[in-house]
Amino acid sequence: MKFKDLAENYLINPFLGAITSVVGVMIGVIGSLYPETIKQTFLKFCLEYKCVLSIDTLISASFWFCVFGFGLLFWGVQWAQMKRTNSATQDITKQSDELEELVTRLLTLPPEGFLEKFQELYRSAFVISQSALLKEDATKKEIAHCVRYVMGILAALVKSFDGDPQNIGYHANIMIYKDKNIILDNPIEKKRIEGILKFTDGFSNIENYLGILELIPEFSTTSESKDFQVDNSINSIGLPIPVISEVRIGNQPKHKVLPGAPWSFVHKIYASFHSMDEFLKWCNERCDFSGSVKNDLKEYFTNGDGKDIKSFISYPLLPLSNKEKSDQPAIGVLNIHRNREGILTGRGKSKEMNNLGLKLFTPISDPFRILLVLLLQKYSSAN
């Protein structure tokens, strides 16, 4: 045990407080009975520097010894009490922080009945997926419908997790990755792709990029759509995947890849934004984009096709592999968005709660994303 801790344990003892009080009383008694003796002895010592052993000297010495002892004891008791109070305050603060964190986590938990909902929805998604995966001659149209069905169910699951009312719209779509070498082999496809590319700052030539992510309207739906039909509110767009995804400007790393789906594709991890203000702030502070690209992004999410997107999450759709980390690029990216801020925050509204909700929901959604990967692989080889 440290000396300070040992001293604190002794000084905080009530018995020592009683001794301090007794010493204080003794000072008062001696001072009231022998005021002149104490005064004369003190003056003689101060003026003549003489200290003769006598009764008067002993009385005066006892008085001053009690004064010094009282002061030392009083300081020690106050120090111990202050140290103990500070320690108790720190404990209370720590407990308060732990309680706040616990409440925060509770607020990110899904509402009652979510797991039963998950079981029901996944069973339905699995059955509909198998109807296409086990059918040798399944057509692209049939497989695309199964893809929308699984996406729609996943969007409905996100809505259930958030506990949102029916008037909140949840949309899902898939962007498919297309390598530039494959595009360049087909001049007609190259021209089409370059016509739908966005946020390129005028550099729409596909040769400038590693590839593109194309939003396929056929792979889009909403949680409210009956039988999960195509989401008619979206148009096909292409987002560039740059050859170099990050540069350093001074000592700061800056992203060259667009946040959201492209960033998720490159880094093979989900990307989410609690609000579009957060999205635009990311672009301004963490990305090396021209003013033109930043303005185009702001216009797109303010007045353009993305004006109803208020928060979203993007998941990379990775090929199935036995390796923990595969060198294969993602097949594409799954986007889920809604027309209100704070997707996957549960009942909380802060960014911290948003992150906790995402961390909880992401592993839950993994089985659905595996089904989507299997269906997309089947789609690519179907007629």
pLDDT above 50 for 132? yes
Please state, in angstroms and rounded to a whole number, the distance separating the CA atoms of residues 8 and 256.
Answer: 58
Please state, in angstroms and rounded to a whole number, the distance separating the CA atoms of residues 359 and 96.
Answer: 23
Q: Please identify which residue in the block is written with the tokens 């300081």.
A: 75
Is residue 174 a contact partner of residue 151, using CB atoms and an 8 Å limit? Answer: yes
Q: What is the pLDDT of residues 154-171, one digit of tens each?
A: 998 888 888 766 678 899
Phi, psi of 313 (to 5 degrees): -135, 140
Phi, psi of 36 (to 5 degrees): -70, -40
Find residue 317's DSSP bridge partners.
Answer: 332
Q: What pLDDT does residue 107 have?
A: 47
Please state, in angstroms and rounded to a whole number, the distance separating the CA atoms of residues 215 and 257.
Answer: 17
Q: What is the pLDDT of residues 256-265, one digit of tens each?
A: 999 999 999 9
User: Using alpha carbons only, what angle is made at residue 7 by residues 6 and 11, rounded to the nearest 5 degrees?
Assistant: 125
> Cβ neighbours of residue 146 under 8 Å, at least 6 residues apart?
128, 129, 131, 132, 375
The residue that leads in pLDDT, 338 or 351, is 338
Q: Please identify which residue in the block is written with the tokens 């603060």.
A: 93
Q: Kindly give the pairing relationship between strand 209-222 and strand 238-242.
A: antiparallel
Q: What is the pLDDT of residues 20-44, one digit of tens each?
A: 667 667 767 666 776 766 666 655 5
pLDDT above 50 for 102? no
Report domain extents, the chain: 3-105, 112-381
Q: What pLDDT does residue 83 have?
A: 73
What is the pLDDT confidence band of residue 103, given thresholds at 50, 70 and 90? very low
Q: What is the pLDDT of residues 273-287, one digit of tens each?
A: 989 999 999 999 999
pLDDT above 90 for 70? no
Find residue 336's DSSP bridge partners.
Answer: 172, 313
What is the pLDDT confidence band of residue 47, given thresholds at 50, 70 and 90? very low
pLDDT above 60 for 354? no
Q: Is 295 exposed, middle or buried (0-12, 13-18, 19+ CB in 10 A)?
A: exposed
Average of per-residue pLDDT across 142-164 = 90
Kindly report the CATH class assigned to 112-381: alpha beta
User: Of 359, 377, 261, 274, which is closest to residue 316 (Cα–Cα)?
Assistant: 261
Average of per-residue pLDDT across 114-119 = 82
Q: What pLDDT does residue 2 have?
A: 66
The residue that leads in pLDDT, 365 or 40, is 365
Please state, in angstroms and rounded to a whole number, the distance separating the CA atoms of residues 76 and 305.
Answer: 72
Q: What is the pLDDT of residues 317-343, one digit of tens each?
A: 999 875 556 678 899 999 999 999 988
pLDDT above 80 for 9? no
pLDDT above 50 for 188? yes
What is the CB neighbour count within 10 angstroms for residue 319? 12
Q: What is the DSSP letter of 287?
A: B
Average of per-residue pLDDT across 105-120 = 69
Phi, psi of 193 (to 5 degrees): -60, -45
* Residue count (the chain): 383
Q: What is the pLDDT of residues 190-215, one digit of tens each?
A: 999 989 999 988 777 888 899 999 99
Helix axes 35-48, 55-108, angle to 10 degrees: 100
Q: What pLDDT does residue 338 have?
A: 93
User: Of 101, 100, 106, 99, which is closest to residue 345 (Cα–Cα)?
Assistant: 106
Q: What pLDDT does residue 95 have?
A: 62
User: Of 67, 91, 169, 172, which is closest to residue 125 (Cα–Cα)?
Assistant: 172
Is residue 343 a contact partner of residue 272, using CB atoms and an 8 Å limit? Answer: yes
What is the pLDDT confidence band of residue 376, given thresholds at 50, 70 and 90? very high
What is the CB neighbour count within 10 angstroms for residue 23? 19
Of all residues in the chain, what percent carry a pLDDT higher than 70? 71
Lowest mean pLDDT among 18-32, 94-108, 151-165, 298-312: 94-108
Q: In what order do the strands lie in the sheet with 238-242?
A: 238-242, 209-222, 170-179, 332-338, 311-317, 271-273
> Cβ neighbours of residue 177 under 8 Å, at least 6 residues apart?
211, 212, 213, 241, 265, 329, 330, 331, 332, 333
Strands (E), 281-363: 311-317, 332-338
